[in-house]
Structure 1
Amino acid sequence: MRAQGRAPFWSARRWRPLRRALWGVAAVLLLLVVVVAWVTLDALRARTALADAAEGVATLRADAMSGNTDRIHEQIAELQHDTSEAYQATRGPHWSLARELPGAGPTVEAIATMSEVVDELAHGALPDLARSAELADPAMFAPENGRLNLEPLERVAPDVVRADRSVGLAAERVESLDGVMVPQVGAAVDRLRRELDGLRSTTATAARAVEVIPPLLGADGPRDYLVLVQNPAEPRALGGITGTVVVLRAADGEVTLVNQMPGGMVGPFEEPVLPLTPDERSVLGRHGEVARWMQNVTMTPDFPRAAQLARQMWLRETGREVDGVLTADPLALEALLGGSGPIEVRDGVRVAPHELADYLLHDVYFEHESPQEQDKIFARVAEQAFDRLAAPRGEDRVAIVSALVEVARQGRLLVWSADEAVNRRLADTVLDGSLTGVRGDSPVVGVFAQGINMAKIAYHLDTDVDVAVVAERQDGSRELEVTVTYASTVPEAQIATMPEHFVGYTERTPGEIRLRCLVYAPAGGWISGASSQGQEIGLTPKKQGEFSLASRSISLSPGATASVTYAMITGKRQSGDIIVRVTPGVEPVDVTISDDLSGAAE
């Protein structure tokens, strides 16, 4: 007889609950396997669709930038098909469940977010940009018969601004993705971030253009602009002395030349036209040179400040107020004129456009000792150049737009408006020229030259700037070594034949280039020391507002080279690519940036 008592652990009564539990676990596991398999298949389908969409976006963008819009609607339809497929493949309850799986969440979230972001762009921002590309091509930004047609710009403005906003929101969503992901997905996220950053740069520039260009060109009424034509052969921080001032009037897209005169005829004034801070006097001259001579307003590397001083000087001299200030120089003029044909600099003498800068910065001083004769030539060239730029022909119109982009990138074209709303849109662009010290999370290093010679001998000056990241600090700042090298290319054998106006009337050592180098640390940073040829050297530390800088005088005999390395600390949490602002010279400044610590270089 079986003994009475507890049932054995393997009895049917005890096995039933355990069996039910095991079946439940098995069902859950099976469901998870099905969900993972389902999500994996959908992810592969989404990846294929996203890859096709990426290729479509690249083709669409290239065609739009080149003005090839014949198939643009067909391309948009194909792109939308691909992105819709990717979007649908990453939706459903199985994706919601997969998001909660341990370790899988970030990967699943990234795939779903990328699909949604790209689909939204394909159905929103990209069609907006495509419509804009159909209405406006690069040639529209150059005048025709003296007038730039503003109507297409005003028509595309809403689409472009809306597209820029959409791309910005998309970039923020992708930037917020984090966590440990499958390597292939992580790489795709990084690629999409880069693509969106590049697209945002394009849309932001376009949005600024469509909002700023019409009011600048007189869509809301006539606007007068003072153009400071700089001479980089006699350096100032922003480029060179203001050799000529030109007044342009813009009215409903039509630009006319109103007035011009030598910069030396504006002022000088007994007192600064605007109050100067103690820092400005310390850095730019204790006698207030920057605010008393029109030729010297470009001594400050802060273009809005230079523009305000120039505007006030013009008002004092002429009684007339201008609505904005621009800069240009002979190298910018040479680039803009391109293949337009020779310029008649005086009766019977013509100069090809590619030789124009050399003529205006060098040859004219050897041919004409009289400053008055030189000024006549400058005026004659300005009139002819304006006439050609106001009414370019055929392919020259597109070439002008390309040249404008390049000279702006070099810092030879800057724009300031008396309308602060316009300036806010120009902020952080290459046209701005503000002394900021930081852009986003990128530290900005400034290296500027002030010529001491009252001469054009710096025509023979070469400049190199090398920036190296040597350490990263715990507070997010970085240690930099900024090496500034100046080299004289003055031909010693020709010094005796150089005119005094070129080498300087009062120079004790003809052919010597004398200048002051101003090196600015990024916002929140400072300069901790300097060395030359491996030896520490003394510095003259200064402050200009919130910025720390070092000032050093340089003298170069013909053929000589001088190099100084500045030890610099950036501001905190400035992890972006390093930006270097320099004085645009007769020869382009050779800038090298290396960041071996992070593998980034610019």
Structure 2
Amino acid sequence: MTHPGWGDKWADAPVFPLAGSPSQNTQTDRNSGEGAKVLPLRKPRSPGPDDPDGPAAGRLATVTRARPAPPAPAPWKKPPLPKPAFWTRRRRRNLKVAALSLVALLVLLAVLVAWVALDALRARDSLEQAARGVSTLQTDAVAGRTEQLDSTVTELQRHAADAKDATGGPHWSLAGRLPGVGPTVEAVATMATVVDGLARGPLPQLAEVVEVADPATFAPHGGRVDLRPLEGVAPDVVRADQSVAYALQRVEGINRSPVLPQVSAAVSDLEQQLADLRMSTATAARAARLIPPMLGADGPRDYLVLVQNNAEPRALGGIVGTVLVLHADRGRIELTEQMPASQVGPFKQPPAELTEDEQAVFGDKVGRWMQNVTSTPDFPRAAEIARAMWARETGQTVDGVLAVDPAALAEVLKTDGPVAVGSGERLLGEDLVSYLVNGIYLTETPDGADLIFADVAESAFASLSSGSGEPSGMVDALAVAARQGRLLVWSADRAEADLLEGTVLDGGLRGVNGSRPVVGVFTHGLQMAKIGYYLDTAVDVVERGVRSDGARELDVTVTYTSRVDESDAAGLPDYIVGRGESDPGLIRLRSIVYAPAGGAVVQASENSEKIGISPQKHDELQRVFDDIELHPGETASVTYAIISGKHQDGDVILRTTPGPRPVEVSIRK
């Protein structure tokens, strides 16, 4: 059914889809993103005869739906405006300023680095000169060239001040904060500060001390040493040593890995110079603290002196032949007692209780016979045992113990000239040593030999106390004897013993010194004879490698050679070859080796053939031994493969038994 006036008007009108419609039989998809997409509609049914709308109603075939229009923008949101021209100009100007600032900063850094580099070169040159000055000062001080010390100190101060000035500006401090440059700058500055501090502080005092401590100053006059000069400078010497020790510690603490090679080399050079100087200052400080009290500045002292005979080897040198007693009071030294060591004991029980290790290694002989106290390579322990023996024998408790041998006595007597011995023959140096440990037994009875031996020892100490010899020569003689292990000193005072510990006078048994492994090679004669005079000893140490834990791998070869002439052996006296020996001229000895602390002897071979070893323990150190027989003219070599303890990567220290002649020593890497 149509409305009047409408149905006929629109019945034959075409139906147009909306814009974008692909066909007349589609309907717009409201969810599409492409404009007005038309979706298909259900096919219109055909009107029946009874349809009220009639046939014309079916002509409306499609219904279109338009996509909603996007919402209009809020009235308060405005589109961005274009930036004005002045904004672009400002940005360009800022970029230009930043670039110029960066260039200026780089130029400034370049100038700073160049300035620091020039000062570094200046400081390096001054430090090198100062380091040479330290070395010269140390050498002159030890040599006693006191007249040159003032000028050396003045030059040292000038170079040190110049190095300090070159590294003291604000630019230097600023450069120290730069990455890559800082460690080098800091290293140079530290060296300059250290050297300048020494030059203005302890070194001038040390020069004054050396002048006061000149050997001539301490030469005895009328049997007495004037202790007042040394007592007066003792505090300055101790302070100087402390300052040098602190300076050495600071230089050792410089990290050299990120430092320029030239500066690193300068650090190493200065460290070596300071280490050498420290050896001198430490020795001087010990002497200043030890000599006055030990020579009776604080009260009388008595010392037992063990005179060893190297012709019958023991670990510390030789069997004790004679014992002396020295009395010291306010610098005056007197010989108050002497007797053959054979008259002290033997004791049924050791006067000093022996440790389990000592009993296992040495038996009780080391504690019952005075002649055998030097069987232990630990001199402080030998001194304690000898002191106890002397107290048991005489009732006198001494304040300390010394040990010397004929070679040490001969060195002291060199400054007096030839010494009359025996029938009046006058001997000097090696000839005197040869006579005392061998020739005397060819012409004298054992009792007569003991008397002559004691007379020579008395003459040596009389020469020391009277000051009849040349002072510097006397000091040199004592130094040589100490370095060879022929002069050893022990004090019963604990503080003095601590000062002696670690020095060449100490003779203590230890397996490590700092990071340095200590190897002990000792000889013990197995005969009651003086055949040891004919024994030569050589020790060769070869480093095979260093393990990752710092342990050292060492080969220690000990070579013994007999100097006995086979044609003369049968004619040697029994006192030399040994009573009842079936093979005259045969040398029987025990080769003893101590491994470093924490280390071990892992293998041994004699004359290139492997031999068995039975390790023993002595004061926490491992030791092994090999018994050797040498016929006249023969040579025997024993090689010990040794591994040291961990973290012992320093240079090897070798201790040996001093014989009638110096031991030939070689240490190779």
Q: Give the whole-Å Cα distance in 1 for the aligned partners of 2:85 and 2:372.
A: 103
Aligned residues: 589
Instruction: Measure how far apart 1:267 and its partner are.
Output: 0.4
- The 5 A counterparts of 1:363-374 are 363-368=439-444, 370-374=445-449
Letter in 1 for 2:130: A
Does structure 2 conserve the Cα–Cα contact (< 8 Å) formed by 1:527 and 1:550? yes
What residue ranges of structure 1 are gaps of 5+ in the alignment? 596-602
Instruction: Kindly indicate whether residue 284 of structure 2 is the aligned counterpart of residue 206 of structure 1.
Output: yes
Letter in 2 for 1:151: R
TM-score, structure 1 normalization: 0.94
The corresponding residue for 1:600 is: none
What residue ranges of structure 2 are gaps of 5+ in the alignment? 1-79
Letter in 2 for 1:200: R
Q: Give the whole-Å Cα distance in 2 for the aligned partners of 1:55 and 1:174.
A: 16
SS for the counterpart of 2:660 is coil
The corresponding residue for 1:190 is: 268
Instruction: Kindly indicate whether residue 495 of structure 2 is the aligned counterpart of residue 421 of structure 1.
Output: yes
The corresponding residue for 2:347 is: 269
Listed one character per residue, the Cα deviations across residues 565-593 of structure 1 (whole Å, up to 9, x for unaligned) are: 11111111111110000000111111111
Does structure 2 conserve the Cα–Cα contact (< 8 Å) formed by 1:143 and 1:392? yes
- The 5 A counterparts of 1:404-553 are 404-553=478-627
Letter in 1 for 2:398: V
SS for the counterpart of 1:592 is strand
Q: Give the whole-Å Cα distance in 2 for the aligned partners of 1:557 and 1:21.
A: 93
SS for the counterpart of 2:564 is coil
Identical amino acids, percent of aligned pairs: 56
2:385 to 289, 309, 319: 309
Letter in 1 for 2:122: R
The corresponding residue for 1:42 is: 119
SS for the counterpart of 1:573 is coil
Q: Give the whole-Å Cα distance in 2 for the aligned partners of 1:333 and 1:460.
A: 20
Instruction: Kindly indicate whether residue 205 of structure 2 is the aligned counterpart of residue 128 of structure 1.
Output: yes
Instruction: Measure how far apart 1:68 and its partner are.
Output: 3.1
Q: Give the whole-Å Cα distance in 2 for the aligned partners of 1:206 and 1:336.
A: 21
Letter in 2 for 1:144: H
SS for the counterpart of 1:408 is helix
Listed one character per residue, the Cα deviations across residues 205-224 of structure 1 (whole Å, up to 9, x for unaligned) are: 11111111111111111111
Letter in 2 for 1:412: R
SS for the counterpart of 2:520 is strand
SS for the counterpart of 2:286 is helix
Letter in 1 for 2:636: A
Instruction: Kindly indicate whether residue 217 of structure 2 is the aligned counterpart of residue 140 of structure 1.
Output: yes
The corresponding residue for 1:239 is: 317
Does structure 1 conserve the Cα–Cα contact (< 8 Å) formed by 2:546 and 2:649? no
Q: Give the whole-Å Cα distance in 1 for the aligned partners of 2:225 and 2:173.
A: 54
Instruction: Kindly indicate whether residue 305 of structure 2 is the aligned counterpart of residue 227 of structure 1.
Output: yes
Listed one character per residue, the Cα deviations across residues 49-88 of structure 1 (whole Å, up to 9, x for unaligned) are: 2233334334433433333333543443332222112101
Q: Give the whole-Å Cα distance in 2 for the aligned partners of 1:45 and 1:331.
A: 52
Q: Give the whole-Å Cα distance in 1 for the aligned partners of 2:369 and 2:393.
A: 11
The corresponding residue for 1:554 is: 628
Does structure 2 conserve the Cα–Cα contact (< 8 Å) formed by 1:99 and 1:105? yes
Instruction: Measure how far apart 1:364 and its partner are.
Output: 0.9
2:643 to 549, 566, 569: 569
Does structure 2 conserve the Cα–Cα contact (< 8 Å) formed by 1:274 and 1:291? yes
Does structure 1 conserve the Cα–Cα contact (< 8 Å) formed by 2:167 and 2:192? yes
Q: Give the whole-Å Cα distance in 2 for the aligned partners of 1:572 and 1:379.
A: 47
Q: Give the whole-Å Cα distance in 1 for the aligned partners of 2:457 and 2:145.
A: 35
Closer, same or farther: CA 172–527 of 1 in aligned 2, 3 Å: same
Q: Give the whole-Å Cα distance in 1 for the aligned partners of 2:640 and 2:86.
A: 82
Instruction: Kindly indicate whether residue 86 of structure 2 is the aligned counterpart of residue 12 of structure 1.
Output: no
Instruction: Measure how far apart 1:440 and its partner are.
Output: 1.2
Instruction: Kindly indicate whether residue 240 of structure 2 is the aligned counterpart of residue 166 of structure 1.
Output: no
SS for the counterpart of 1:148 is coil
Closer, same or farther: CA 360–10 of 1 in aligned 2, 3 Å: farther
Listed one character per residue, the Cα deviations across residues 356-407 of structure 1 (whole Å, up to 9, x for unaligned) are: 1111101111101x3222222122222323222222336x221110010001
Instruction: Measure how far apart 1:14 and its partner are.
Output: 2.4
Q: Give the whole-Å Cα distance in 1 for the aligned partners of 2:180 and 2:297.
A: 57
Q: Give the whole-Å Cα distance in 1 for the aligned partners of 2:333 and 2:550.
A: 48
Closer, same or farther: CA 355–53 of 1 in aligned 2, 3 Å: same
1:359 to 432, 435, 439: 435
SS for the counterpart of 2:326 is strand
Letter in 1 for 2:118: L
Q: Give the whole-Å Cα distance in 2 for the aligned partners of 1:573 and 1:560.
A: 40
Letter in 2 for 1:397: P
Q: Structure 1 residues 293-302 or 568-577, which shifts more?
A: 568-577
The corresponding residue for 1:31 is: 108
Letter in 1 for 2:595: A
- The 5 A counterparts of 1:60-139 are 60-70=137-147, 72-139=149-216
The corresponding residue for 1:589 is: 663
The corresponding residue for 1:319 is: 395
Does structure 1 conserve the Cα–Cα contact (< 8 Å) formed by 2:523 and 2:589? yes
Letter in 2 for 1:378: F
Q: Give the whole-Å Cα distance in 1 for the aligned partners of 2:237 and 2:498.
A: 18
SS for the counterpart of 1:486 is strand
Letter in 1 for 2:591: C
Listed one character per residue, the Cα deviations across residues 107-137 of structure 1 (whole Å, up to 9, x for unaligned) are: 1011101111100000011111011122221
Instruction: Measure how far apart 1:350 and its partner are.
Output: 3.3
Listed one character per residue, the Cα deviations across residues 313-362 of structure 1 (whole Å, up to 9, x for unaligned) are: 00111111110000001111111111413323245443334421111101
The corresponding residue for 1:599 is: none
Instruction: Kindly indicate whether residue 457 of structure 2 is the aligned counterpart of residue 382 of structure 1.
Output: yes
The corresponding residue for 2:29 is: none
Closer, same or farther: CA 518–66 of 1 in aligned 2, 3 Å: closer
